[in-house]
Amino acid sequence: MKIDILTLFPNMFDNFLTESIIKRAINDKKVIINIHNIRDYSKDPHKKVDDYPFGGGEGMVLMPQPIFDAVEHLKTPDSYIILMTPQGIKYNQKKAYELKDKKHLIIICGHYEGFDERIRTLADTEISIGDYVLTGGELASMVVTDSVVRLIDGVIETNSHLKDSFNNNLLDYPTYTRPADYKGLKVPEILLSGHHENINMWRHEQQLKRTKERRPDLLEED
Ligand code: ADE
C-alpha cells in the first residue's frame, strides 16, 4: 500500500514515521508513506496557500489551487482520496478494514479555519475521527494511517488484531501478566488454570460484559 499525505505541516509527521510499528512497516516495505507540503504546489509567487473568505468572516481559507494540483499530480486509477474534516463520517474499525484493502490512499489534511468548499469535490470520502475540532487534519490523518497500517498483512500478528476491541462489535477482554498477585490485586484464577477451553469461554463472557457495561451502542450496530 502507498499513502500520500497532503499537509501544511510536514514536520508534524517526523516522529510518527520514525517510531514503533509504523517505522517497522516502512522498513519492511509493507507500506510507502510520503508526506507532501501543500505549499510546494502553490503557484503563487509567495507560495501563498490561503486567503480571506468571500463574504467576510473570521480566519483564512485554504485555496483550491495547491490542493487540486497536488491531487492531480499524485492521483492514479488506484487512488482513494480522503479529506480529513470534523464534518466527515465518523471513523471506526470497520472503516479501517475497508481502507486497508485500498492500494493507494491520498489523505488531505485541512487546516486553519477551513478550506474552500470546492476541495470537497476531489474526495472519495470525508472522515472525522470524532466529535471535537482539532487545529488541523494532521493528527486525524495519523490516526487513520496508524489504524490502517497495523491491519496490513504481516505488520503485526493477525491473531493480535483479530482479538482487538471492536472486532465483532465487542470490546477486548481483560489481560494480565506476572505477578499473579500484585499488592493484593489478584489475577482471576481461571487464567492460571491452563484450561484453554474454559479460558476462551471466560474471555468471551468478559467481552460481552464489558461491552454491555461500557459501550452498549456497539451491540446495536450491525
Ligand atoms: N480536522 C479538525 N478536526 C478534525 C476531526 N475531528 N476529524 C478529522 N479531521 C479534523
**Ligand 1 site-directed mutation target among 5, 85, 90, most atoms within 8 Å of CB:** 85
- Domain termination residue (choose one: 158, 188, 210): 158
The 3-state secondary structure of 58-104 reads CCCEECHHHHHHHHHHHCCCCEEEEEEEEEEEECCHHHHHHHHCCCE
Is the domain of 147 the same as that of 173? no
Is the domain of 64 the same as that of 132? yes
Q: Return the amino acid letter for 41.
A: Y
- Domain termination residue (choose one: 117, 143, 158): 158
Is the domain of 60 the same as that of 97? yes
Q: Give the binding-site residues of ligand 1, using a 6 Å CB cut-off.
A: 84-86, 110, 128-130, 132-134, 136-137, 140
* Residue 181 is among the residues annotated as catalytic for this protein: no
Is the domain of 103 the same as that of 146? yes
Cβ contact 122:81 at 8 Å: yes
CATH number, domain containing residue 210: 1.10.1270.20
For 24-41, b where at least 16 C-beta lie within 10 A, e where not — what string? Answer: ebeeeebbebebbbbeeb
10-residue mean pLDDT profile of the chain (222 residues): values are 98 98 98 98 97 94 97 98 97 97 97 89 98 96 98 90 81 96 98 97 97 96 73
* Residue 203 is among the residues annotated as catalytic for this protein: no
CATH number, domain containing residue 64: 3.40.1280.10
Is the domain of 23 the same as that of 36? yes
The reported pLDDT for the residue numbered 113 is 75
Nearest to 112 by CA among 186, 170, 48: 48
- Domain termination residue (choose one: 110, 129, 158): 158
User: What's the CA-to-centroid distance between 89 and ligand 1, angstroms?
Assistant: 11
* Residue 53 is among the residues annotated as catalytic for this protein: no
The reported pLDDT for the residue numbered 112 is 62
Is the domain of 87 the same as that of 128? yes
Alpha-carbon distances, residue 74 vs 8, 37, 85, 101, 110 (angstroms):
16, 13, 21, 19, 17
CA 167, 170, 171: angle at the middle one, nearest 5? 100
**Ligand 1 site-directed mutation target among 12, 92, 133, 143, most atoms within 8 Å of CB:** 133
Is the domain of 140 the same as that of 40? yes
Is the domain of 22 the same as that of 51? yes
Is the domain of 45 the same as that of 107? yes
The reported pLDDT for the residue numbered 164 is 80
| Residue range(s) defining the domain that contains residue 114 | 2-158
The reported pLDDT for the residue numbered 14 is 98
Q: Give phi and psi for 71, each to the nearest 5.
A: -65, -45
Task: Report the number of distinct structural domains present in the chain.
Answer: 2
Is the domain of 44 the same as that of 106? yes
Is the domain of 120 the same as that of 173? no
* Residue 120 is among the residues annotated as catalytic for this protein: no
Is the domain of 91 the same as that of 129? yes
